[in-house]
Chains A and B, each alone.
Chain A
Amino acid sequence: MSTTRAGLDSPADAPDPGPAIRRATWWRLLLRDRFACLAVVILLFVGAAALVGPMLFGDLATRQNLRAVNRPPFSLDDGWAFLLGSDSLGRSVLARLVVASRTTLSVALPAVVISLVVGSIWGMWAGFHRGWRENISMRVADVILSFPALLLAVVVLYVFSPSAANIILVLAIARIPIYLRAARAESAELQSRLFVDAARTFGTRSWAIIGRHVAPTVLPTLFTVASLDFCFVMLTESSLSFLGIGIQPPDMSWGLMVAQGRQVLQSAWWIAVFPGLAIVVTTVSATVLASWARLAMDPGQRWRLTLPRSRRANKALVKEVRP
């Protein structure tokens, strides 16, 4: 299996350069890829908006003006704040977008990261050891998958006090099986390979083997799934807000803005479309970065990123593929 080779080759292929040099190479690689660059810039921008947005626009985002509701976008008649129009209460859509980025990220990011980290480590562990550990882990995943997430959410609403931490918990638990199953599958396949056996006979401890040999092969797929999970989590979060868990108006998140704008999609499309676009752009940026990282992290693939971006790229590729 191809992945095996990568796992085998990696130690030999890439003699560990000093951390400083490695960092410099990564930067160079990144700068060479315009799309990945753009993705990083967008993500940095979203991050910055989340950091300082609420301080700068917090007041503007909640200021209602019932005499100027549903103003269409791309007009400066009401000032730059209304460049993206106003919502059904006359608030600036632009300011709300910026301010909402904080809540959105502070829910989506932890939810995705927790499910990714817990799911992948658990899955690799289960797949590596096989036997009862694997069996129990997979049945637990089956059980979680069989529960409607909404039921969990409603229970949380009734039993615990609603808070952002609870949404994160519900979302993370619901998504853990996805990573758990994917990581287990690949890890189980890998552990039967020769090089893992070899490492074992040399007395390498299992966590070390998982970290060095299993993780590099398993993680790229999981990163791809995780980056696309962003949008899913952002949109699901809004349906939980609808039940009264977590983010409540006048707090705002992109998901909640999309959900509220849904009612007026035909008469004031901008209210739902701009936050929706924000979700799409952020997710796509994360995916582009994930797919770049996948190439950059794979020693066997990294050369593709070092090629000059020109028409020759394709030719070079073909040549390489057809010896």
Chain B
Amino acid sequence: MLTFLRRRIASSALPLVVVILGVFCLARLTGDPGNLYLPLSATPEMRAEFAARHGFDQPLFVQFGDYLTQVFRLDFGESLRTAEPAADAVLRAFPATLQLAGATMILAILGAVVVGSWAAYRPNSVADRVASFTSTTAASMPDFWFAIMGVLVFAVALGWLPTSGTEGAAAWVLPVLTLLIRPFGVLVQVVRGAMVTALSAPYIKVARSKGAGEVRVVFGHALRNAAPPALTVAGDLTVGLVNGAVVVETIFGWPGIGKLMITSILQRDFAVLQAAVLVTAITIFALNIVIDACYALLDSRVRQGVTT
């Protein structure tokens, strides 16, 4: 296992540099930030001065060299927009996103395993139809409907929950629910599909004939076999959330990395964008290593489960 981890981490170093370089170059293809940061009536001299001050007049490779040396000294530059260190902005926003994504994925996975298995237990039954239909319908709705309708109903009309913000446990309900819908719907479908196949496999009959209880059959034997595809998809969905839940963060005023990233792209705040992508990239790489490790573990256990 340790060798596996070491090799994976080593092989992730180069792709990480590619990501940094890519974002650095792509960002600079999106136009001159001077237009945004100087008043409309600024003179050409002021614009040239601005570009010189921030190094935008240098050749790209010189800029990137400077940036890399800075990064090695853990200096991620200063935000053009807010005049604070880019690292501060990113390290403040990222935990907010992680918390939200974590809570959402835990609920989505638990819910999807239960509902998906229940639906798969009797494929094509009424229960299956209802579960599949509801979850896919929910998953394919525009998320801002849920967000805005949720606010109008539960915050404005009923007064049960706050409209937005981050204060108190109640403020988590609407963002998490809005965020939950799509991963939940997708996972229910994936779990259901994999479970249908798993439950009809011969070894399930074997397990049953040995007198294993239904709960043990479904969640012990079948689920373990159905887990790999669900795990991959869940991993990708988590990656999507780590990259930021822009709609939810925008509507509920959640100070997360998604909103920060969008703002820094649209506002050409390169230092913040680069720092944000670096942090999310590291997280995504780490997450994928964890998923692969889970696979390896699951794989050996699956084999044991089948042979013994």
The proximity string for B residues 230-246 relative to A, scoring 1 for CB distances below 8 Å and 0 otherwise, is 01110110010001100
Q: Does A130 contact B (CB under 8 A)?
A: no
In contact, A220 and B265 (Cβ under 8 angstroms): no
Q: Does A260 contact B (CB under 8 A)?
A: no
In contact, A323 and B209 (Cβ under 8 angstroms): yes
User: Smallest Cβ distance from B117 to chain A, in angstroms?
Assistant: 14
In contact, B123 and A154 (Cβ under 8 angstroms): no
Complex CA gap A262/B142 in Å reads: 10
In contact, A150 and B141 (Cβ under 8 angstroms): no
Q: Does B26 contact A (CB under 8 A)?
A: yes
In contact, A185 and B232 (Cβ under 8 angstroms): yes
Instruction: Mark out the residues of chain B between 142 and 162 whose CB falls within 8 Å of any chain A CB in the assembled complex.
Output: 142, 144-145, 148, 152
In contact, B140 and A139 (Cβ under 8 angstroms): no
Cβ 8 A contact of A177, one of B182, B236, B273, B280: B236
Complex CA gap A89/B144 in Å reads: 23
Instruction: Mark out the residues of chain B between 7 and 35 whose CB falls within 8 Å of any chain A CB in the assembled complex.
Output: 11-12, 14-15, 18-19, 22-23, 26-27, 29-31
The proximity string for A residues 217-251 relative to B, scoring 1 for CB distances below 8 Å and 0 otherwise, is 00011001100101110010000000000000000
- In the complex, the number of residue pairs spanning A and B with C-beta atoms less than 8 Å apart equals 192
In contact, B30 and A158 (Cβ under 8 angstroms): yes
Closest B residue to A243 by CB, please name it. B266
In contact, A3 and B186 (Cβ under 8 angstroms): no
Q: Does B98 contact A (CB under 8 A)?
A: no
Stretch in contact with the other chain, from A10-18, A63-71, A99-107, A294-302? A294-302
Q: Which residues of B contact A177 (CB under 8 A)?
A: 236
Complex CA gap A150/B266 in Å reads: 9
Interface centre among B12, B137, B273 (most CB of A within 10 A): B137
The proximity string for A residues 282-323 relative to B, scoring 1 for CB distances below 8 Å and 0 otherwise, is 011001100100110010110011000000011001100111
In contact, B189 and A287 (Cβ under 8 angstroms): yes
Q: Does A37 contact B (CB under 8 A)?
A: no
Q: Does A1 contact B (CB under 8 A)?
A: yes
In contact, A148 and B243 (Cβ under 8 angstroms): yes
Closest A residue to B222 by CB, please name it. A2
Complex CA gap A317/B225 in Å reads: 21
Closest A residue to B198 by CB, please name it. A2
Q: Does A129 contact B (CB under 8 A)?
A: no
In contact, A185 and B229 (Cβ under 8 angstroms): yes
User: Smallest Cβ distance from B83 to chain A, in angstroms?
Assistant: 23
Q: Does A196 contact B (CB under 8 A)?
A: no
User: Smallest Cβ distance from A175 to chain B, in angstroms?
Assistant: 10
Q: Which residues of B contact A55 (CB under 8 A)?
A: none
In contact, A147 and B30 (Cβ under 8 angstroms): no
Q: Which residues of B contact A6 (CB under 8 A)?
A: 197
The proximity string for A residues 118-160 relative to B, scoring 1 for CB distances below 8 Å and 0 otherwise, is 0000000000000000010011101101111011101101110
Interface residues on B, range: 35 or more
Complex CA gap A272/B190 in Å reads: 29
In contact, B185 and A228 (Cβ under 8 angstroms): yes
In contact, A280 and B30 (Cβ under 8 angstroms): no
Q: When A151-B273, A266-B152 are in contact, do A146 and B280 touch as well, CB less than 8 Å?
A: yes
Closest B residue to A177 by CB, please name it. B236
The A interface, classified by DSSP as helix, strand, loop or mixed, is helix
Complex CA gap A245/B203 in Å reads: 53
In contact, A182 and B233 (Cβ under 8 angstroms): yes
Q: Which residues of B contact A298 (CB under 8 A)?
A: 197
In contact, B26 and A5 (Cβ under 8 angstroms): no
In contact, B228 and A185 (Cβ under 8 angstroms): yes
Q: When A155-B30, A295-B196 are in contact, do A283 and B284 touch as well, CB less than 8 Å?
A: no
Complex CA gap A148/B279 in Å reads: 12
User: Smallest Cβ distance from B189 to chain A, in angstroms?
Assistant: 5
User: Smallest Cβ distance from A305 to chain B, in angstroms?
Assistant: 8
Interface centre among A33, A152, A185, A262 (most CB of B within 10 A): A185
Stretch in contact with the other chain, from B41-49, B67-75, B100-108, B125-133? B125-133
Q: Which residues of B contact A93 (CB under 8 A)?
A: none
Sort A-B residue pairs by CB-CB distance and give the 5 closest, nearest first: A2-B201, A231-B140, A283-B140, A146-B281, A139-B15
Residues of B at under 8 Å CB distance from A? 11-12, 14-15, 18-19, 22-23, 26-27, 29-31, 122-125, 129, 132-133, 136-137, 139-142, 144-145, 148, 152, 182, 185-186, 189-190, 192-194, 196-205, 208-209, 222, 225-226, 228-229, 231-233, 235-236, 239, 243-244, 261-262, 265-266, 273, 277, 280-281, 284-285, 288, 295, 299, 302, 306
28 CB-based A-B contacts, threshold 8 Å: A1-B306, A2-B197, A2-B204, A3-B225, A5-B201, A5-B202, A142-B284, A146-B285, A147-B22, A151-B273, A154-B30, A178-B236, A181-B232, A181-B288, A185-B232, A221-B194, A228-B139, A228-B186, A231-B139, A276-B142, A279-B140, A280-B141, A283-B139, A284-B136, A291-B189, A291-B193, A294-B193, A317-B125
Residues of A at under 8 Å CB distance from B? 1-3, 5-6, 33, 35, 135, 138-140, 142-143, 145-148, 150-152, 154-155, 157-159, 177-178, 181-182, 185-186, 189, 220-221, 224-225, 228, 230-232, 235, 258, 262, 265-266, 272-273, 276, 279-280, 283-284, 287-288, 291, 294-295, 298, 300-301, 304-305, 313-314, 317-318, 321-323
- A142-B288, A157-B30, A280-B137 are known; give 10 further A-B pairs, CB within 8 A: A146-B284, A147-B19, A150-B262, A158-B31, A181-B288, A280-B141, A287-B136, A287-B140, A301-B123, A323-B205
